[in-house]
Amino acid sequence: MCALPALDGKVCGACLRRRPAFDRTLAAFSYDFPIDRLLHAFKYASDLALAGVLAEPLARIAAAHPKPDLLLPMPLHSSRLKERGFNQALEIARLISKWLDIPLAANACRRTRDTPSQAGLKLEERRRNVRGAFACDLDLTGKKVAVLDDVMTTGATLNELSRILKNCGAIEVSAWVVARTLPE
Ligand SMILES: [Zn+2]
């Protein structure tokens, strides 16, 4: 489910102990050199030309899986959006939506509060940090949704958004990420 390697090649121990709200994860890369540098340049140096480079490998993997009804980028809080000028997840989602012909729900969900950075927080703290941080007005009854984010670190943020989407009626949520942080 969370794309961490498991001994039997199936579900990792953490997901077995506590099932995440998303049903599967597709990740194009592990979060390592040089992808970490590319993602950083994309996000903080606003090198938007990198969107295509990062989106394409993920699109290839996604194309080999059943198509969701809707593609939803991880929302950015409005204050961060103002600061950065763009939502990196939306830029990648735009391309994949176009290439794979999946409807894009660009601004259907939002962050209700600006959560402190998750960096340096343990999993439990991350879960608490993002609890109740999203709102979504969509009626997703019977829908299969893919949520797109640039990086999955612990999965706490994607888990919280997925929980909200399930509350809105989604029957299946897939997490699509460019890179997944793997344990040392
Ligand atoms: Zn897992």
CATH of the domain at 70: 3.40.50.2020
What's the pLDDT score for residue 124?
A: 85
What is the number of domains present in the chain? 1
Judge whether 153 lies within some domain: yes
- In a domain, residue 9? The reply is no
- Give the C-alpha separation, 181 to 162, whole Å: 19
Domain of residue 66, residue span: 31-112+123-180
**Burial of 75 from C-beta contacts in 10 A (0-12 / 13-18 / 19+):** buried
| Residue 171, domain member (yes or no) | yes
Is 181 in a helix, a strand, or coil? Answer: coil
Q: What is the pLDDT of residue 32?
A: 96
Residue 80 belongs to a domain: yes
Compute the distance between CA of residue 70 and CA of residue 97 in angstroms, rounded to an integer. Answer: 9
Would you give the end-to-end CA distance of the chain in angstroms? Answer: 19
25 Cα: distance to centroid of ligand 1 (angstroms): 9
16 falls within a domain: no
pTM, 2 dp = 0.95
User: How many angstroms does the Cα of residue 145 sit away from the middle of ligand 1?
Assistant: 19
How far does the centroid of ligand 1 lie from the alpha carbon of residue 172, in Å? 17
Ligand 1 centroid–CA 36 distance in Å is 21
Q: Looking at residue 180, what is its pLDDT? A: 97
Chunked into runs of 10 residues, the chain (184 residues) has average pLDDT values of: 84 92 97 96 90 97 97 94 93 98 94 83 86 94 98 95 98 98 86
Q: Dig out the tokens for 161 from the structure.
A: 């958004």
The DSSP letter of residue 64 is T
Determine the distance separating the centroid of ligand 1 and the alpha carbon of 45, expressed in angstroms. Answer: 31
Ligand 1 is an ion; its neighbours by CB within 5 Å are: 2, 4, 12, 14-15
What distance in angstroms lies between residue 101's CA and the mean position of ligand 1's atoms? 29
Give the span between the Cα atoms of 9 and 95, in whole angstroms. Answer: 31
In a domain, 4, yes or no: no
Residue 71 counted as domain residue: yes
Interatomic CA distance for residues 68 and 148, integer angstroms: 12
169 occurs within a structural domain: yes
